Amino acid sequence: MSFRLNIKYYLVHQLGFTNKEAIKAIENRKLKVNGAVITENIEFNETWEIYLDEQLLKPNAPFTYIALYKPRGIETTNNPAIENNLTTVFNFNKHLGYAGRLDKESEGLLILSNDGKYIQSLSSPLKDKEKEYIVTVNKPITDVFIEQMAQGVDIMICKTKPCIIEKLSEYEFKIILTEGKNRQIRRMCKALGYLVSSLIRVRIDTIELGSLKSGEFREFSIH
């Protein structure tokens, strides 16, 4: 997910301005963001300070970094109009972006933050950030399956990049990807004649799921 939040959106959706009031405040040079008068609808993050004339609307705030165990059956969206969205398991009291979508039937680590650059660094296909999964399939895993998965699989929309894969048991394997196509692991398995019965993400880059249980979360620092 690409994290984008502009000042007009923040004024309207977080501070209760009407669209007209927000546009007027920007055009009339009444807003100061981090000490600078703004004249256009700039990109924004929640750490910044906002003044309207001499009135403090929002003080500086630190970045927030959260590791969430997304339960199976929950959609990776904070849109309350969508059934079983993330807000049913996590209180979005801040505007948080998330890195590494998981499909509804998958579970495990999801990283949330109001640090847009950090979220983008984890999400961008150009960064080659590792994402590690534990996967259970519906029939015994063969050496041929492991070899073909490791080399990359034609999933119709593309051929996946080579990856690291290790057989853990007769029906379970660990896989480390540096890309994130939609339902990629499920498509890779299906192309080779397997169906995924369980898929858990246990790591994104250096952040691990650890001892989190389904629906639990913890804050962490990147410094």
- Annotated catalytic sites, by residue? 103
Contact 89, 73 (CB under 8 A): no
Dist CA 192 CA 179 (whole Å) = 19
**Residues near 86 by beta carbon (within 8 Å), at least 6 away in sequence:** 68, 70, 74, 75, 76, 77, 78, 92, 98, 110
- The full length of the chain comes to 223
In this structure, is the dihedral angle defined by the CA atoms of residues 74, 76, 78 and 81, taken in order, positive or negative?
A: negative
Helix or strand holding residue 46 (H, E):
none
Partners of 58 in beta bridges: 50
Dist CA 114 CA 46 (whole Å) = 6
